Amino acid sequence: MTLAHYLTLSGLLFLIGIFGALTRRNIIGILMSIELVFNAANINLAAFNHFRHPGGVAGQAVALFFITIAAAEVVVGLALVLAIYRNTDTVYVEEFSLLKG
Amino acid sequence: MVEHAYLIPLLPFLVSLVILFFFDEDAHSPYAPYLGIATMFWCLVQSLVIFHQASSGAVHPWPYEGSWEWFSFAADSAGKGFSAAMPIGILIDGAAAVMLVVVTLVSLLVQVYSLGYMHGDPRFKRYYAYLSFFTASMLGLVVSNNLLVTFACWELVGVSSYLLIGFWFEKPAPAYASKKAFMTTKLGDCGLYVALLLIWAKFGSFKISMLAVSAATPGVLTPLAATAIGLGILCGAAGKSAQWPLFIWLPDAMEGPTPVSALIHAATMVAAGIYLVAKTYFIYAASPVAMEAVAWIGLITALLAATMALVAYDIKRVLAFSTVSQLGFMLCALGCGGYTAGLFHLTTHAFFKALLFLGAGSVIHSVHTNDMRQMGGLSKKMPVTFGTMFVATLAIAGIWPFAGYFSKDMILERVYGHNQVMFGLLTFAALLTAFYMFRMIFLTFVGDDRDHERHHHAHESPWVMLWPLCLLAFLSVVSGAALAHNGFFEHLVNYKLPEGLMTETLAPRLMPYAVTALVCGSIALSWFFYGRNDFTLAESLKARCSPIFSVLENRYGFDAIFLSLVAFSDRIAKFAFWFDSSVIDQFFVDGWGLITRICAELSGLFDNLFVDRTVDGFGGLSMDAGVLLRSLVTHGQVQEYLMYIAVAVSLFTILILSR
């Protein structure tokens, strides 16, 4: 197991996350895909910490902070989803075009 | 009292203001004349005291000068700054002492006489205010020690003569005459003004005593400058003293009240020119050319005016021409170096000319006409007027022992020593004087009455008018002999001529007798023509020489010349107005305005079409671009935006990685 394996894993996760975010119709799905992108970044942090600075803990610590922040962010995101759902009775993003100029 | 001589002009001036502003106009102001007369009497007493002091040599130093600082100012000459002081003060020399007496005396008598003559005039008090003002201006001119103040008084004399000649301004003729007098004298004053400028440039002072000292210092006054200054002053004097060619105003000035004419002719106005030449005599002493010009102007005037008097029928005009002629005598004398003779004649002439005018006024008052053709035979009706005027006529003709004999003799003697051609011409003018003066006497007082109606109503004037005549007649008899006695006048005036002007040629001892004999012949000729109550000879002469008569009656056409000059300047003014309004205004000013407007229009057009459109174009361009770009992305789909971001980030990533 080398750094490249980890980086490949995180790259795949990132791409899957982006792909999901761009293609899912369900807003919950998009949130889940963004969580995947987050976790790709966290894997990167932990992997670089382990292989470049063995014995250091800064990477893991920042990854832990990120997980916490991601949890908070999901709370906000799900609250928004709930608000949207209550207002429009739908969770499909193509039916929102409030940003249309 | 010489220290307080400044009061002599100041007091009548104040009195004139008081009369003018504090007395009633309508109520016939019974006190206004008496205030003026009392003031003038006081001035006369003061003047007599000064005269006495001057003649007895009681004043030291002589001539007396009292000077105060008037104002001072910073001046700049040839790059050097200095402070120039302008003094104001009095300068009493022999000539001034004599003039003071003459002016105050004549003015006093004229004012007394006017009590009768102007009785009942609606502007009685104003008349007295003007008389006082007139006299005050002349007295100021006489006593001033500063040429600038003299000039100011000179102009005040002009103003007051304007006011008095045009006193009856409701009538067109006096209004015209006053305007003419004022403007003609102003024409002369231009020369005087230039002379004053030159004096300041040359000497840097207007103080007469200082100027006299500087002018006598060799090297200060070049002959050229002296000539220019002298001619300028002569120009002013010719205007004021009615000398050729500016004499045209004086005959018209007869439109004023007759006592005013007496004042103008004897004391105040026309004497000013002669007196100014005498006052600045040191300038003429430095310039033989100016001196000669003075003499010739005087001579020409004396001759021309005397010939014009020969044909006049207006009694006052005869006297006016005679004044012009006599002033010519004085100027001629001054020009020939006869300072004393000129001033002497000025003095004696003042007495008998005032008398003649007041007498003529008495006649006019009595018969209500100026035309001598409607008079005749008045001697029986008006014996006192006739007697006094006869005395004056003898005096002006120059018969011994009347005043005119002495002064005219002195002039002729001086002119003989200077130039014998001049002497001949001037003697001829003197003969003409005798002729026309006796013509006037004969036409007015002798013979049959030609207008019975007027003659019937003629009456002797009241005594308030007659006793000034008597006093003046007395002076016309004795003043010449008294002043000439033992060279009294010469000693009093005491002007030391420079060496060059002293003439050694003495007139022959028989000269006065010869001239007197000729004058008597001239009087006899006058009697032959006009005194025998038979005018056929005069009429036939007039018929035979009618061209000459008409030339003389038209005053040699000088009026026409001046009128054409006025018309010419009028035309120049009209042309200038046309040029100004249609060329300068319409072409240059308006044209420039038009060009500016066109430029502004063009600039506005450029601004609107080019600059603004460019700005608008950029704005429109960015707006269009915005609209275009918006149309690409305006579906409001979050995933679309996200895809753009992802594509862009991946493109940048590829770009960065591939470097």
Q: What is the pLDDT of residues A33-49, one digit of tens each?
A: 999 999 999 999 999 99
Which tokens in the block code for residue B646?
């992802």
Q: Is the pLDDT of residue B573 over 90?
A: yes
Tokens encoding B245:
């060619």
Q: Label the pairing between strands B64-77 and B80-92.
A: antiparallel
Pairs of residues, one from chain A and one from chain B, whose beta carbons lie less than 8 Å apart = 32
Instruction: Give strand ranges (E) for A32-100.
Output: none
What does the pLDDT look like over B602-638, one tens digit per residue?
A: 999 999 999 999 999 999 999 999 888 887 776 777 8
Mean pLDDT of B438-458: 78
Pick the range with the lowest mean pLDDT from B41-55, B532-546, B570-584.
B532-546
- Residue A91 CB neighbour total at 10 angstroms: 17
Instruction: Kindly tell me the sign of the dihedral angle through the C-alpha atoms of B541, B543, B549, B551.
Output: negative
Angstrom distance (rounded) from CA B436 to CA B447: 16
- Which residues in chain A are closer than 8 Å to B633, comparing Cβ atoms? 101
Give how far B635 is from chain A: nearest CA, Å. 5
Round to whole Å and give the CA distance between B571 and B569.
Answer: 5
Share of residues in chain B with pLDDT > 90 (%): 9
| Residues in CB range of B154: below 8 A, 6 or more apart | B137, B141, B189, B192, B236, B240, B272, B276
pLDDT for the residue numbered B68 = 84
pLDDT band at B507 (very low <50, low <70, confident <90, very high): low
Q: DSSP label at B244? A: T
Contact B638 A99 (CB under 8 A): yes
**Do the Cβ atoms of B494 and B54 come closer than 8 Å?**
no
* DSSP-assigned beta bridge partners for residue B68: B88
Cβ contacts (< 8 Å) between B639 and chain A: which residues? 21-23, 30, 93-94
Token pair of B460 as six digits? 């002797």
Among the residues of B75-146, which ranges form H helices? Answer: 94-117, 124-143
What is the sign of the dihedral through the CA atoms of B17, B20, B23 and B28?
positive
Facing residue for A100 by CB, picked from B634, B643, B646: B634
Query: Given pLDDT bands bounded at 50, 70 and 90, which one contains residue B27?
Result: low
Please state, in angstroms and rounded to a whole number, the distance separating the CA atoms of residues B14 and B140. 13
Report DSSP letters for B414-445, one per residue.
Answer: HHHHH-HHHHHHHHHHHHHHHHHHHHHHHHHH
Cα–Cα distance, B353 to B241 (Å, whole number): 14
Dist. CA B145–CA B279, nearest whole Å: 10
pLDDT value of residue B26:
60
Q: How far apart are CA B414 and CA B424, in angstroms?
A: 12
Q: Is the pLDDT of residue B175 over 80?
A: yes
Contact A22 B634 (CB under 8 A): no
Residue B379 has phi, psi (to 5 degrees) of -60, -30
B296/B333 Cα distance (integer angstroms):
10
**Contacts with B629 from chain A: Cβ below 8 Å:** none
Closest C-alpha among B391, B338, B388, B332 to residue B359 = B388
What's the whole-number average pLDDT of chain A? 89
Q: Which residue is closest to A14 within chain B, CA to CA?
A: B646
B295-304 average pLDDT score: 89
From CA B550, how far away is CA B565, in angstroms rounded?
A: 22
d(CA B444, CA B378) in angstroms, rounded, equals: 6
B328's enclosing H/E stretch is helix B315-335
Pick B637's closest partner by Cβ from A18, A97, A101. A97
Residue type at position B435: F
Sign of CA dihedral B385, B386, B391, B394: positive
Kindly report, residue by residue over A49-62, the tens digit of the pLDDT: 989 888 888 888 99
Pick from B334, B229, B192: which is nearest to B275 by CA?
A: B334
Q: Are B630 and A100 an interchain contact pair (Cβ–Cβ within 8 Å)?
A: no
Chain B residues in contact with A96 by the CB 8 A cut-off are: 636-638
- Given CA atoms B196, B201, B206, B211 in this order, what sign does their dihedral have? negative
Among B136-140, B211-215, B303-307, B327-331, the least confident range: B211-215
pLDDT given at position B397: 85
Residues 6 or more apart whose CB falls under 8 angstroms from that of B525 comprise B435
Q: Is the pLDDT of residue A10 over 90?
A: yes
| One-letter amino acid for residue B403 of the chain | A
- Residues of chain B found within 8 Å of residue A22, distances taken between Cβ atoms: 639, 642-643, 646
Query: Taking 80 as the threshold, does the pLDDT of residue B548 lie above it?
Result: no
Share of chain B above pLDDT 70, in %: 96
pLDDT grade, residue B36 (50/70/90)? confident
Percent helix, strand, coil in chain B, to 5, is 75, 5, 20
pLDDT score for A5 = 92
CA distance readout (Å), B654 to A37, B648, B651? 19, 10, 5
Nearest to B33 by CA among B138, B129, B164: B129
Q: What is the average pLDDT across B284-300?
A: 86
Domains of chain A (ranges, CATH numbers): 3-95 (1.10.287.3510)
- Contact across the interface for A18 and B639, Cβ inside 8 Å: no
Look-up: residue for tokens 């889940």?
Answer: A32
Average pLDDT over residues B195-214: 84
Among A14, A15, A22, pick the best mutation site for testing chain B contact (most B Cβ within 10 A): A22
**Assigned token pair, B196:** 């004053």
Q: Which residues of A touch B (CB under 8 A)?
A: 18, 21-23, 30, 93-94, 96-101
Residue B509 pLDDT class (50, 70, 90 cuts): confident
Q: What is the mean pLDDT of residues B174-194?
A: 88
Predicted confidence (pLDDT) per residue in B121-159, tens digit = 778 888 888 888 999 999 998 888 888 889 999 999 889
Tokens of B393: 């006529």
Q: Which residues contact B471 (CB under 8 A, 6 or more apart)?
A: B109
d(CA B115, CA B109): 10
For residue A61, the tally of other CB atoms under 10 A from its CB is: 12
pLDDT of residue B264: 84
> Cβ–Cβ of A30/B641 closer than 8 Å?
no
B457 versus B302: the higher-pLDDT residue is B302
pLDDT band at B594 (very low <50, low <70, confident <90, very high): very high
Indicate the residue type of B495: Y
CB within 8 A of B7, min separation 6: which ones? B46
SS3 content of chain A, % helix, strand, coil (to 5): 80, 0, 20
CB distance A22–B639 less than 8 Å? Answer: yes
pLDDT exceeds 60 at position B278: yes
Provide the CA A45 distance to its chain's centre, in angstroms: 14
- C-beta of residue B365 within 8 angstroms of C-beta of residue B433: no
CA distance linking residue B135 with residue B144, whole number of Å: 14
* Closest C-alpha among B563, B556, B550 to residue B176: B563
DSSP H stretches of helix in B448-487: 452-457, 463-484
Assigned token pair, B213? 């000292």
